[in-house]
Amino acid sequence: MIRQTILCCGFLVVLVCGLLVSPAAAQQDETVCIQCHGGLPDALGVPVGEWRQSLHADNGISCHDCHGGDPTDFAMAMSPERGFLGAPDYTAVPEFCGRCHVGVLGDYQESAHGQALQAGGAQCVMCHGNHAVQKASLDLINPESCARCHDYERADKIKGILADTDGKIIAMEEELARLGKLGMAVEAFEGQLFDLRNRFHRAFHTVKEARVREQTGEVLAGLETLRAGVDEIDAGLGQRKLWGGVAIALLVLAGILFLQMRKTYEEDEKG
Around 228, how many Cα atoms within 13 Å sit in the side-chain half-sphere?
Answer: 5
Q: Which is nearer to ligand HEC, 11 or 74 (CB)?
A: 74
Distance between CA atoms of 141 and 185, rounded to whole angstroms? 36
Distance between CA atoms of 244 and 238, rounded to whole angstroms? 10
In the complex, minimum distance from the CB of residue 146 to ligand HEC, in angstroms, rounded to a whole number: 3
In the complex, minimum distance from the CB of residue 46 to ligand HEC, in angstroms, rounded to a whole number: 6
Q: Which is nearer to ligand HEC, 4 or 137 (CB)?
A: 137
User: b or e along 197-227 (b: 16 or more beta carbons within 10 Å of the residue's beta carbon)?
Assistant: beebbbbbbbbbeebbeebbeebeebbeebe
In the complex, minimum distance from the CB of residue 173 to ligand HEC, in angstroms, rounded to a whole number: 13
Residues in the chain: 271
In the complex, minimum distance from the CB of residue 237 to ligand HEC, in angstroms, rounded to a whole number: 31
Q: Which is nearer to ligand HEC, 31 or 179 (CB)?
A: 31
Distance between CA atoms of 32 and 98, rounded to whole angstroms? 25
Q: Which is nearer to ligand HEC, 171 or 247 (CB)?
A: 171
